[in-house]
Amino acid sequence: MSVESTVKTTTVTIAEAARDALAEEMRRDPTVWALGEDLAAGGIFGTYKGLLDEFGPQRIVSTPISESMIMNVGFGAAIAGTRPVIEMRILDFALCAWDELINQIAKARFMFGGQTSVPLVVRLPQGIGRGFQAAQHSQSLEAWLVHTPGLVVLAPATAADEKGLLKAAIRSDDPVVMLDPKSLFAASGEVPAGDYTTPIGEARIARQGNDLTLVTWSSLLPAVLDASEQAAEAGISVEVIDLRSLWPWDRACVLTSAARTKRALIAHEAVLVGGFGAEIAATITEETGVPVARIGAPRIPVGYAPILENTYRVTADKIFEAIRKATGSR
Amino acid sequence: MTRIREFERHARIGYDGGEIPGVVHLSIGQEAVAAGVCANLEREDFVASTHRGHGHCIAKGAKVTAMMAELFGKTTGTNKGKGGSMHIADFSVGMLGANGVVGGGIGIAVGAAQASRLLGKNSISVCFFGDGAVNRGPFLEGLNWAAVFTLPVLFVCEDNAFSAFTRASSTTAGKGASARAEAIGVETRAVDGNDVFAVYDAARELLGRVRAGQGPAFLYAPTYRLDGHTVFDKAPYRTSEELERKREHDPIAELESYLHRSGVAQESIEEIHLEAREEMVRAMEAARRAPLPTEADAFSDVQNIGAPA
């Protein structure tokens, strides 16, 4: 949704926006509850701060470190009449619960012939985060999730979208995977006052431009905007699309923009090879014939030492170079 | 028990005759566990099952006509032909599904119990799993979780002696499933899984505790899989002598001899078998007549938002 300047707003961090979204939905619907490690302590990113006091231990459930059970208990509770929010702490730990997510949750509605819906949200903070956490705490694996039929996949990058998409996710009858932008939890942004949801499947034009369509999502948005500013100074006008929803993704928005600017670039923090950018690039090529470039991480694990991590990182400077190359301005 | 036996006998006929396209895991010889446990359940209670789940489904009240149609892959099946034997579910009777993953049902049962508590309902959960599942993580995680949160769950380990093609005893260390459950502090009973009265009594006692809010319980019920792992497994890993010995303790034969001793006429017993057989013949005839799914059905029931085009 576009936030009109006339709408009253407040400024909050993404972590606070996430907490407020959950609190509002829990007040609205008594079947909404959350489970995961350390939730009584507010969660490791503060996204559950204060919720135990308001909602009690039956609805803010601090669990054992049992990822596969957290996931499957959430699934069982979803098909037995509640709307669980399943907190995985970080995406990397959810790999211990991949069977439950991919084999059970994603397939249940189809496999059971539509007898049940699976109204749950799986929260997977992903990406490098605050840095120097090495290979098992830094991954971006959205491509695996978008590849899995049955799942809705969201990747917000702003406080307003974190709140609006999380609320939409909780109200959805489909299982929704929410890829919280780990590195941006402390970033502040304007959030509309009052109750609202962000429509799933609608992208947001984060910056208007004419020379290149640059599609991105989640943690990489600030670097993309930074690079686009550098490009503007170099005389290149970049249109930045913050995709927000990865499945479904806003084909109309992307294709319309690409057809107009005649060039497209996709930037994501995840490994380039087999990344979701490839799907978007192929679609743009098939539908518009516009030349497309991609930038993502090399196919290497995230290393610990700063130079190793930076080698993996898609930085503003690297994106700027990709913009120059894609627009023939090198 | 006879309905379960006849359902599965007819499922094998359907498979052998080429009418059932996919894999079927039979629980022939294990019927007393499903029947003895589920006889204690109410309609609103939940059951999560395994890949060998026909017995649990029937004992919980699932309709055999729809189950058979599901095996045939027909639209009148419990799952509209989208799941087959390994995923049969009937949510209208609290049957939350067979499961294609060993141990996959454990968390589902625990979660349903947690939902019941949150919603203020009296429903409890029963989770059936085999000897193989006790060597998977969800066994530890699920029992620990249910105990930590004092949830109303009865865990039933139906030990049919084989983890697929391998003897469970050769892959399970220590003192086995019951000792593991006890170590977690879960109330445990072990009974002869081929004695339906023993299963019924033990489940009744444990479910009394579960329903009274005393937390989860564990029932260990050793039995014996008289058929192969799947319909195409001829079970060459055991001797015919062993099989014959085990057949003497067929739970249905044991029940029949009890009924004889109790003065029930042979013809009354035969009547029960005949009724079950006729019911399954009718279920097969209905399944044969039922429509197949269309290609369009492959695209429905996937998801509302971002549905496949």
How large is the average pLDDT for residues B170-176? Answer: 94
- Its sign, for the CA torsion A62, B218, B48, A68, is positive
Using only C-alpha atoms, what is the Rg of chain B? 19
- Tell me whether residues A113 and B144 touch, CB distance under 8 A: no
pLDDT > 90 in chain A, percent? 96
- Tell me whether residues B308 and A33 touch, CB distance under 8 A: no
Residue in this structure with the two tokens 């917000």, named with its chain if needed: A156
Predicted confidence (pLDDT) per residue in B278-294, tens digit: 999 999 999 999 999 99
> Which residue among the candidates A123, A137, A167, A268 is catalytic per the annotation?
A137
Of B118, B119, B301, the CB nearest to A114: B301
**What's residue A131's pLDDT?**
86
How large is the average pLDDT for residues A51-77? Answer: 98
User: Is residue B77 predicted with pLDDT exceeding 50?
Assistant: yes
- Tell me whether residues B303 and A68 touch, CB distance under 8 A: no
User: Is residue A258 predicted with pLDDT exceeding 60?
Assistant: yes
How large is the average pLDDT for residues A9-38? Answer: 98
**What's residue A4's pLDDT?**
53
Give one DSSP letter per residue of A234-282, joined into a string: TT--EEEEE--EEES--HHHHHHHHHHHS-EEEEEEEESTT-HHHHHHH
User: Is residue A158 predicted with pLDDT exceeding 80?
Assistant: yes
Contacts of residue B91 in chain A, CB cutoff 8 Å? 79, 112, 115-116
Of B48, B119, B301, the CB nearest to A81: B119
Predicted confidence (pLDDT) per residue in B245-254, tens digit: 999 999 999 9
- Tell me whether residues A116 and B100 touch, CB distance under 8 A: no
CATH no. for B2-291: 3.40.50.970
* Cα of A109 to nearest chain B Cα, Å: 6
* Cα of B33 to nearest chain A Cα, Å: 23
Of A93, A101, A110, A145, which to mutate for an interface test with B (greatest number of B Cβ within 10 Å)?
A: A110
Per DSSP, what are the bridge partners of residue A36? A62
- Tell me whether residues A111 and B79 touch, CB distance under 8 A: yes
**What's residue A201's pLDDT?**
98
Of A80, A150, A173, the CB nearest to B115: A80
Q: Is A208 exposed, middle or buried (0-12, 13-18, 19+ CB in 10 A)?
A: exposed
Confidence of residue A59 (pLDDT cuts 50, 70, 90): very high
Of A29, A112, A120, which to mutate for an interface test with B (greatest number of B Cβ within 10 Å)?
A: A112
Predicted confidence (pLDDT) per residue in B100-132, tens digit: 999 999 999 999 999 999 999 999 999 999 999
Q: Is A3 helix (H, G, I), strand (E, B) or coil?
A: coil
Domain boundaries, chain A: 10-192, 204-326
User: Is residue A132 predicted with pLDDT exceeding 50?
Assistant: yes
- Tell me whether residues B111 and A201 touch, CB distance under 8 A: no
Q: Which residues contact A61 (CB under 8 A, 6 or more apart)?
A: A33, A34, A35, A36, A39, B114, B149
Q: What is the rounded average pLDDT for all residues in chain A?
A: 96
Decide: A295 and A314 in contact? Cβ < 8 Å: yes
Contacts of residue A73 in chain B, CB cutoff 8 Å? 107, 110-111, 114, 145
- Tell me whether residues B97 and A108 touch, CB distance under 8 A: yes
User: Is residue B89 predicted with pLDDT exceeding 90?
Assistant: yes
Q: Which residue, among B169, B101, B189, B107, has the nearest Cα to B140 in the 3D structure?
A: B107
Which stretch of A127-131, A217-221, B302-306 has the lowest confidence by average pLDDT?
A127-131
Determine the residue type at B135: N
Domain boundaries, chain B: 2-291
User: Is residue A22 predicted with pLDDT exceeding 90?
Assistant: yes
- Tell me whether residues A113 and B303 touch, CB distance under 8 A: no
User: Is residue A3 predicted with pLDDT exceeding 80?
Assistant: no
User: Is residue B197 predicted with pLDDT exceeding 80?
Assistant: yes
Give one DSSP letter per residue of chain B, joined into a string: -HHHHHHHHHHHHHHHTT-S-S-----TT-HHHHHHHHTT--TTSEEE--SS-HHHHHHHT--HHHHHHHHTT-TTSTTTTSS-GGG--BGGGTB----SSTTHHHHHHHHHHHHHHHTT----EEEEEEGGGGGSHHHHHHHHHHHHTT--EEEEEEE-SEETTEEGGGT--TT-HHHHHHHTT-EEEE--TT-HHHHHHHHHHHHHHHHTT---EEEEEE----S-SSTT---TTS-HHHHHHHHTT-HHHHHHHHHHHTT--HHHHHHHHHHHHHHHHHHHHHHHHSPPPPGGGGGSSS-STT---
No. of H helices and E strands in chain A? 13, 14
Predicted confidence (pLDDT) per residue in A286-311, tens digit: 999 999 999 999 999 999 999 999 99
Predicted confidence (pLDDT) per residue in B222-239, tens digit: 999 999 999 889 999 999
Chain B residue with minimum CA distance to A250: B306
User: Is residue A185 predicted with pLDDT exceeding 70?
Assistant: yes
User: Is residue B219 predicted with pLDDT exceeding 90?
Assistant: yes
**What's residue A1's pLDDT?**
47
Contacts of residue B301 in chain A, CB cutoff 8 Å? 109-110, 113-114
How large is the average pLDDT for residues B190-198? Answer: 98
* Cα of A113 to nearest chain B Cα, Å: 4
Confidence of residue A5 (pLDDT cuts 50, 70, 90): low
Chain pair A-B, CB pairs under 8 angstroms: 155
pLDDT > 70 in chain A, percent? 98
Contacts of residue B148 in chain A, CB cutoff 8 Å? 64
Helices (H), A196-244: 221-233
Q: Which residue, among B134, B4, B110, has the nearest Cα to B47 in the 3D structure?
A: B110
Contacts of residue B97 in chain A, CB cutoff 8 Å? 108, 111-112
Contacts of residue B149 in chain A, CB cutoff 8 Å? 61
User: Is residue B40 predicted with pLDDT exceeding 90?
Assistant: yes
**What's residue A129's pLDDT?**
86
How large is the average pLDDT for residues B191-219? Answer: 98
Confidence of residue A179 (pLDDT cuts 50, 70, 90): very high
Annotated catalytic residue A137: yes
Q: Which residues contact B275 (CB under 8 A, 6 or more apart)?
A: none
Q: What is the rounded average pLDDT for all residues in chain B?
A: 97
Distances (CA, A) of B196 to B34, B139, B178, B201: 9, 25, 19, 9
Predicted confidence (pLDDT) per residue in B135-157, tens digit: 999 999 999 999 999 999 999 99
Q: Could you name the CATH architecture of A10-192?
A: 3-Layer(aba) Sandwich (3.40)
User: Given this structure, which CATH class describes domain A204-326?
Assistant: alpha beta
Q: Which residues contact B92 (CB under 8 A, 6 or more apart)?
A: none
Contacts of residue A77 in chain B, CB cutoff 8 Å? 111-112, 114-115, 118
**What's residue A43's pLDDT?**
96
Predicted confidence (pLDDT) per residue in A206-216, tens digit: 999 999 999 99
